Amino acid sequence: MISINETPMIHDRHLVKQWIEAMLQRDDYKNAFKMPKNLTIITCRNEGPMTERMIDSLEGWDEVSVLEKSMEYLGIDGLVVLKDDRLPWRCTFKFEMINNYLNSGKCKTEYIMFCDAVDVIFKDSPQKVIDIFKSFDCDMLCMSTTSTDGYKFMPYAKAFADKINTSGRYLNSGVYIGKTKFVKEFIEDAFINYATPHGCTMDDYKDLMSRDEWNDFPKGSQDQDIFRYLEQKYYPKLKVDYQNLMAYRG
């Protein structure tokens, strides 16, 4: 995996705070980049403080997210922030929010990118992310993580992932980019067929993972499990950035 200094983004909740606070002290980062005309970047968050999603290493960033602040400081205008007032937060809310946005016709760009609000920052131009995406020759590209959460209930999905890569890393749904038409198709499938009206809360997720069985998994689980379940169906149009060229994650 490439180093943190080589990636245009970081998606690591243990690192983003120190990086953004250092960036804000540097004048050379202020208004250094801009939003490409062919790209829309979206994020999803709850209204008000994101307190329940905070860990100690993110203290102080529960009102304005690190993503929002990093893009504002770098001059990357036009972030679409989708908000929902329902609490407790459920990651499957993102499917509903993004599906509604894409069906609204408001997205006019060729490419669309999603970033988690709470622990993703830009530190370089979004154009570099587009260039990386194009090099993979696919319609949608997700970053990766070492976490194997959820695979115990769908070993066939892990077997497929291990067949097409030997990196020991797996799909992460916190950062992805794709052709807008394809992302719309993928999100609609995930939302309609696998995201239950509520899904599990983040606090409940660990308890649910301790089960021996989970019928109809990944229905009722988190968004990343649904992404991983759908990976085989959509491959090779959907690919994973196993080296995390787009965004660093430890």
pLDDT single digits (tens) 68-119? 999 999 999 999 999 999 999 999 999 999 999 999 999 999 999 999 999 9
- Pairing of the two strands 9-11 and 247-248: parallel
User: Is the link from the previous residue into 236 a cis peptide, with omega within 30 of 0?
Assistant: yes
| Matching residue, tokens 């830009």 | 122
Total domains, the chain: 1
User: Mean pLDDT over all residues of the chain?
Assistant: 95
Q: Is residue 3 situated within a structural domain? A: no
Say if residues 114 and 178 touch (Cβ distance below 8 Å).
no
246 or 250, which is more confident: 246
Coil, helix or strand at residue 145: strand
pLDDT of residue 82: 98
Coil, helix or strand at residue 90: coil
Range of the domain at 192: 9-248
- Residue 174 binned pLDDT confidence (cut-offs 50, 70, 90): very high
Q: Is residue 53 situated within a structural domain? A: yes
Q: For the domain that residue 102 is a member of, what is the CATH number? A: 3.90.550
Tell me the average pLDDT across 196-220: 88
72 alpha carbon, distance to own chain's centre:
19
Q: Is residue 4 situated within a structural domain? A: no
